[in-house]
Amino acid sequence: MATSRPPQNLFQVYLRLRPHNNSASTSGERFLSVEEPDENSDAPRYITLNPPNDRRRAIEKFAFTQVFEEDASQLDVFHCTGVANLVEGVLAPYGGEGTDALLATLGVTGSGKSYTILGSKSQRGMIQLALDVIFRSLSDNLLDCSSYPPLEQSITNSDPSEALIFSAHNFLDSVYADAPATFKSSSSRAPTPMLSESVGPSSNQHRRMNRPVAFPQQPDINALSVSCDPSSEYAVVVSMYEVYNDRIFDLLTPPTKSAATKEYRRRPLLFKPTETSPDRKIVAGLRKVICGDLQQALLVLEAGLHERRVTGTSSNSVSSRSHGFFCVEVKKRTRASRKHGDLPWGGNILTIVDLAGSERARDAKTAGATLAEAGKINESLMYLGQCLQMQSDATTKDKPNLVPFRQCKLTELLFSNCFPSASSFSSARYRNPQKAVMIVTADPHGDYNATSQILRYSALAREVTVPRVPSITQTALSAPAPPASPPPLGQLGSPPVHHRSFFAPPGSSSSNQPQHGGLLSSPNIQRAFSPLSGSSPSGDAHRSTMEAAALEIARLSEELEYLRQALESERSAREEAEAHLLSMEDRMIELEQAIREDCTNEFEQRLEIEMARWKTTMQIEMERGEEHWGRKIEVFERSLAVAPLSLPSTQPQSDYEEVDGEDNDKENILMEDMEQENERLKRENEILRREVAGMSPSKRRPLGERSGLGVTGEESRGGSPRPTRKDREKDREVTLRQRLENLRMDDSSSESQRPPSAQQQSRHSSPKKMRRLQTKRWNEIDDDDMF
Ligand SMILES: Nc1ncnc2c1ncn2[C@@H]1O[C@H](COP(=O)(O)OP(=O)(O)OP(=O)(O)O)[C@@H](O)[C@H]1O
């Protein structure tokens, strides 16, 4: 059924064949041949995959946007893939909104992906050429931090990705040693610092890189520039990150030393929508560098590449172990924006991706961590293959969800900007879907199985041609020669042509069934075989039987081929699963170790905090206790000193303690009063003694007349004999002692002996009043009773 608009692929897919070299990893036999361009195009678009030394396998034909043969130069690739057009879309000329652009390479390890993207010692790659075009095209419209210092702050304010923005000057000074070193070209990819023993990650802090003095100048594109918006001002912001083991790591942020493991590590970043970018996911927290010219951007690129994970395998001496993303954000705003209070920047992003290559563990001779990495790489490429296979459907049916791009970070990063921005976020500006170009690289003499697999899922269309199998039927067909003999099978017409998806996406059952005949769904491919030729009228019945037999044989052959391919696919899937399992085991161990270390650290920290808290509490308690006991002892000492004289004998000990506990002030006042009273009594006692001692015996009254002695005058006069003088003096002395004793007793118990009103009065009266009262009593005794 015809669709309302022609299907458009999310990616334009180009194939680039790399020149043959005689390394051990290549088989030597060429299995790819390029079809001549058809009348509609100047450049070839089809290739045929011929299984080497294996006639049982089907011959497959693949269609691409364009095929670059071995002799294609970097400049050819640059021009024909339309990188300049992508750049122009990013610069958004003539006041337009512009378009994000993506350029990626995909292929088997060692097939020339990095060469295409990054170039070599003498040749520039797509990144350098694209940067050259950008800076040349912007020329006077470009702002940089040296000519406009507030630029850094201005870009920071309007960046939606929680990024750390640096001026190139500051960033490069922190990365490179000042003295320019001997030149190392951009292709001289150092061993990954994190993996290298000699150049450890700590070198990032302690040993800075040598600043390259020159970069390759070829191919020369000095004459090339694209349009920009003359009424706007621009800023170029560069960032780099890699996807390693399905996690995103910034390549421009140096690794930091983990407190737990003492190892240098990078912090994985999130790919998420942010507050200022609610409709689109972006990599959050990257370090971004504002570059004012091409040289600065190339130096930033070198710094990032230095941190990218690469290692030597038997397939490639500098094999990329991660998917590398190089992003050039071209920020744009109208020239009037500065006058109106530093209005925010808009702009578009050019992302250039150097994917890690798929590889077979057996061929690459990888083991351990590198094998696990390969498992992750293959897995992510398998998901990418599924997405590429579904891309036509997605654009045709307007159902982006058909592309299962959320299965891994790589496909999320590559595909999530392929679709127009969601309209549900009214505040967000509308964004055009990105323009994307994929350059598939292949070595025609390399690994047949790995290459054919990549071609199957990356090609825009595919035809499978069943091989002719020499058989008894064929012999039978050619043997009986009727008068007008039929042509041999080869002349009957085209063999059956089939096309089907190699990958079976989850939930899809139809893709497992071979589909027969017909043109490929994509209009990009033409049927390559001639239609059925005419036949002799004689022997038609015989011929139709033979044709039916031949078709049956062809069908069975194809089924056999399909099963063989399915087996091959299952085998490689198993290998990938095993590698994945290994990598997951490694990751689990790593995670477990990290969690254990985190737990230990946290536990130790908490323990320290608890210990400190406990010690403080203990100290406070001890101080309180000492203070408390000090007070107790003080009170006790005072009570010991005062109690015999001042404490009423009737007052129970518990009461006293209660007073002590409840109201120390009252108690102290009482104590003081008692002490004063005691002192006063002592003094008065002393005075009394002295008075008594100073009195003449004649003035003293007889003992019987004195009160309080229990013997009245009458009693002493009646009956008993008159005492002698000596007896009288003795009695007087005894009486005086008793009086003194009574006085002491009387004094201490005066409170209880007084009438209630007097008691109340004494309780509320001052010590002075009490003294007066006592004095009065004493005077009374002195005057009336005592003598
Ligand atoms: N078109 C080409 N012309 C000249 N040399 C090439 C070309 N393509 C690749 N090479 C060379 O082949 C070797 C491997 O290429 P490269 O490193 O680009 O492979 P790759 O696909 O990036 O591998 P990996 O996925 O392992 O990183 C390099 O030495 C490179 O210079």
* DSSP-assigned letters across all residues of 258-286: -TTT--EEPPEEEEEEETTEEEEEEEET-
- Is residue 706 within 6 Å of ligand 1 at its C-beta? no
**If you measure from the C-alpha of residue 104 to the centroid of ligand 1, how many angstroms do you get, rounded to a whole number?**
15
Q: Which two tokens stand for residue 8?
A: 């458009």
Give the pLDDT of residue 490: 36
| Ligand 1 atom closest to Cα of residue 316 | 26
pLDDT of residue 3: 38
Ligand 1 within 6 A of CB of 316? yes
Q: In the predicted model, what is the mean pLDDT of residues 699-723?
A: 47
Per the listing, tokens 């570059």 go with: 291
More confident: 669 or 785: 669
Is residue 540 assigned to a domain? Answer: no
Cα(379) to centroid(ligand 1), Å: 22
The mean pLDDT value for 351-367 works out to: 67
pLDDT given at position 103: 93
pLDDT at residue 463 greater than cutoff 80: no
Which atom of ligand 1 lies at the shortest distance from residue 115's CA?
18
Which of 204-218, 290-304, 467-481 has the weakest average pLDDT?
Answer: 467-481
Closest ligand 1 atom number to CA of residue 357: 25
Closest by CA position to 19, among listed 433, 442, 529, 509: 442
Residue 527, pLDDT above cutoff 80 = no
| CA-closest residue to ligand 1 atom 23 | 110
- pLDDT computed for residue 706 by the predictor: 44
**Sign of the dihedral through C-alpha 381, 382, 384, 385:** positive
What are 597-646's pLDDT values in tens digits? 889 999 999 999 999 999 999 999 999 999 999 998 989 888 888 765 55
The region of weakest confidence among 264-273, 501-510, 581-590 is: 501-510
**CA–centroid distance, residue 368 to ligand 1 (Å):** 24
Winning range, highest mean pLDDT, from 63-72, 148-157, 208-217: 63-72
Percent of the chain's residues with pLDDT above 90? 11
Position in ligand 1 atom list of the atom nearest CA 441: 21
Cβ-Cβ contacts under 8 Å for 522 (sequence gap 6 or more):
7, 63, 392, 460, 461
Give the Å distance between the CA of 454 and the centre of ligand 1. 16
**Residue 527 falls within a domain, yes or no?**
no
Residue carrying the six token digits 């899809």:
508
* Beta-carbon contacts of residue 249 (< 8 Å; ≥ 6 apart): 241, 242, 243, 266, 267, 268, 269, 322
Q: Helix or strand or coil: residue 246?
A: coil
Q: How far is the CA of 213 from the centre of ligand 1 (A)?
A: 24
Angle 175-252-375 from CA coordinates, rounded to 5° = 130
Quote the pLDDT of residue 388. 81
The confidence score (pLDDT) of residue 487 equals: 35
Of the ranges 190-199, 376-385, 749-758, which one carries the lowest mean pLDDT score? 190-199
1, part of any domain: no
Is residue 501 situated within a structural domain? no
Q: Is residue 109 within 6 Å of ligand 1 at its C-beta?
A: yes
Percent of the chain with pLDDT over 70: 63
CA contacts within 13 A on the Cβ side of 386? 22
State the pLDDT confidence band at 325, using cuts at 50, 70 and 90.
very high
738 lines ligand 1 (CB under 6 A): no
Separation CA 1–CA 7 (nearest Å): 13
| Mean pLDDT across 14-37 | 77
DSSP code for 62? E
Predicted confidence (pLDDT) at residue 574 exceeds the cutoff of 90: no
Strand-pairing partners, residue 282, are 272
- State if residue 467 touches ligand 1 by the CB under 6 angstroms criterion: no
DSSP string, 520-577: -SSTT----SPPPPP--STTHHHHHHHHHHHHHHHHHHHHHHHHHHHHHHHHHHHHHH
At residue 368, the pLDDT reads 54
67-92 pLDDT per residue, tens: 999 888 999 999 999 899 899 888 88
Binding-site residue set: 107-114
Cα 321 to averaged position of ligand 1 atoms, centre (Å): 14
Tell me what pLDDT residue 505 has.
Answer: 32
pLDDT tens profile 482-515: 433 333 333 333 334 443 333 333 333 333 333 3
266 CB less than 6 Å from ligand 1?
no
**What pLDDT, on the 0 to 100 scale, is given for residue 185?**
44
This prediction's pTM? 0.59
For residue 301, the tally of other CB atoms under 10 A from its CB is 25
pLDDT for position 710: 42
Does a structural domain hold residue 171? Answer: yes
Q: Provide ipTM, 2 decimals.
A: 0.96
Closest Cα to atom 16, ligand 1: which residue? 112
pLDDT mean over 348-352: 91
Binding residues for ATP: 107-114
- Predicted pLDDT at 606: 93
Q: Which of 442, 472, 502 is the last residue of a domain?
A: 472
| Per-residue burial over 413-445, b = 16 or more CB atoms within 10 Å of its CB, e = otherwise | bbbbbbbebeeeeeebeebbbbbbbbbbbbbbb
Q: Which of 316, 322, 438 to mutate to test the pocket of ligand 1 (most atoms within 8 A of CB)?
A: 316
Q: Structurally, how many domains does the chain consist of?
A: 2
**CATH code assigned at 94:** 3.40.850.10
Residue 675: other Cβ atoms inside 10 A: 15
- Domain closes at, from 419, 441, 472: 472
Whole-number Å distance, alpha carbon 242 to ligand 1 midpoint, is 19
Model pLDDT, residue 396: 53
Domain end (from 472, 497, 513): 472
Q: Which of 286, 298, 285, 283 is nearest to 168 (CA)?
A: 298
Rounded mean pLDDT of 398-405? 64
In a domain, 568, yes or no: no
Nearest-CA residue for ligand 1 atom 6 is 112
Instruction: Give pLDDT, residue 709.
Output: 42
Nearest alpha-carbon partner for 114 in 99, 129, 104: 104
> What single string gives the DSSP state of each residue in 438-463?
EEEEE-TTS-HHHHHHHHHHHSSEEE
In a domain, 614, yes or no: no
CB of 446 within 6 A of ligand 1: the answer is no
Peptide bond into 488 cis (omega under 30): no
- Domain membership of residue 454 as a residue range: 11-472
Is ligand 1 within 6 A of the CB of residue 113?
Answer: yes
The mean pLDDT value for 737-745 works out to 66
Residue identifier of the C-alpha nearest atom 20 of ligand 1: 110
Residue type at 775?
A: T
Where do the H-state alpha helices sit in 119-189? 126-138, 151-158, 168-175
Average per-residue pLDDT in the chain? 71
Quick check: CB of 19 below 6 Å from ligand 1?
A: yes
Closest atom of ligand 1 to CA, residue 118: 18
Q: Does the residue 588 lie in any domain?
A: no
Res 399: pLDDT? 57
